[in-house]
Amino acid sequence: MKVLIAGAAGMLGRKLAERLSSAGRIGNRELTGLTLADVVAPQRPPDHAGDVELLALDVSNADDVGRLIARRPDLVYHLAAIVSGEAEADFDKGYRINLDGTRHLFEAIRREGLREPYKPRVVFTSSIAVFGAPFPEVIPDEFGTMPLTSYGTQKAVSELLLADYTRRGIFDGIGIRLPTICVRPGKPNKAASGFFSNILREPLVGLEAVLPVSPDVRHWFASPRSAVDFLMHAAALDLAQVGPRRNLSMPGLSATVGEEIEALRRVAGERAVKLIRHEPDEAIMRMVAGWPPRFDAERARALGFAAEARFDDIIRIHVDDELGGRIGG
């Protein structure tokens, strides 16, 4: 099986490439080729024994994407996007990358199939940002997509495109709406939700972190490890079981910021918690007010997707995977 990851230089793309390289297969199909593409050349997975193609290209360039799909991968992971805060701040860039890039990718697959029969599996990372307030206490699978941000709109339109191209038999697609991924490793990015990770990641290594919202803010979370599990499972799943509604809200953990902090206290102690400084930010608080707090995710769970049940586990996964099992500066 030949696999393409578009957006392979990002955090999830890197972790997915490492998991694929380690596993050497998707379900019962052997990995025979791996192409990693992003706006900057991705790094080679450390455990990859075979050949891997590392490409720097821009998904907003239709010709670049056409050449990428001409390699005819059996499985296409579409992770390429800019994050929520950046998409909101730069309207043109958000639509160029998050929407036009998606359309270029889908169209390249369609044109390749017109030349010679070709129907790959496409796994698209969407977002819970496709939903907008007001929300019920628990958001059911049939809740309508009414985004309140440009980023959410770009993802929602891409979901519709994925469903239609799948309906037309152009590819076999599945969209997975990721929870907020926490704890994100590395440095803070431009995602509006970044503080959810910042208030854990920095104190775990002895650094201060700023909390811009109230501790009673509730949100929907999963770890990077679970996100990669979602991607692997979506690639191997019999999509006939999914039916025509190809976009799924992933399982996660509903928790308040205060519950996050209490989990940090249990895992890392009071010293870590004291490194969090509360500085309210009105702009972020307004944005957070329109974010979904809890999902039912019954369809995804029935299809075998799963995530953490305790925030302590999310923190410990970060400590094990990113900090070598050690807490402190």
pLDDT for the residue 298: 98
At 291, is the pLDDT very low, low, confident or very high (cuts 50, 70, 90)? confident
Q: How far apart are CA 306 and CA 242, in angstroms?
A: 16
- Asked if the model's pLDDT at residue 50 lies above 80, the reply is no
pLDDT for the residue 108: 98
Query: Over the chain, what is the mean pLDDT?
Result: 95
- Asked if the model's pLDDT at residue 234 lies above 90, the reply is yes
Percent of the chain whose predicted confidence (pLDDT) is above 70: 99
Mean pLDDT of 167-188: 95
Mapping DSSP onto H, E and C, the string for the chain reads CEEEEECCCCHHHHHHHHHHHHHCEECCEECCEEEEEECCCCCCCCCCCCCEEEEECCCCCHHHHHHHHCCCCCEEEECCCCCHHHHHHCHHHHHHHHHHHHHHHHHHHHHHHHHCCCCCEEEEEEEHHHCCCCCCCCECCCCCCCCCCHHHHHHHHHHHHHHHHHHCCCCEEEEEEECEECCCCCCCCCCHHHHHHHHHHHHHCCCCEEECCCCCCEEEEECHHHHHHHHHHHHHCCHHHCCCCCEEECCCEEEEHHHHHHHHHHHHCHHHHCCEEECCCHHHHHHHCCCCCCECCHHHHHCCCCCCCCHHHHHHHHHHHHCCCCCCC
Q: What would the two tokens of residue 265 be? A: 């206290």
Domains in the chain: ranges and CATH: 2-179+222-249 (3.40.50.720), 192-219+253-294+308-322 (3.90.25.10)
Percent of the chain whose predicted confidence (pLDDT) is above 90: 91
20, 18, 7: which is closest to 234 by C-alpha? 20
Q: Which residues are catalytic?
A: 151
- Asked if the model's pLDDT at residue 39 lies above 90, the reply is yes
Global confidence as pTM:
0.96
Neighbour count for residue 311 (Cβ, 10 Å): 24
- Is 76 in contact with 26 (CB distance < 8 Å)? no
- Asked if the model's pLDDT at residue 192 lies above 90, the reply is no
Neighbour count for residue 40 (Cβ, 10 Å): 10
Of residues 284 and 247, more confidence is placed in 247
Q: How far apart are CA 36 and CA 20, in angstroms?
A: 12
At 329, is the pLDDT very low, low, confident or very high (cuts 50, 70, 90)? low
pLDDT digits (tens, 9 = 90+) for 235-269: 999 999 999 999 999 999 999 999 999 999 999 99
pLDDT digits (tens, 9 = 90+) for 40-49: 999 999 877 6
CA 267 to chain centre: 25
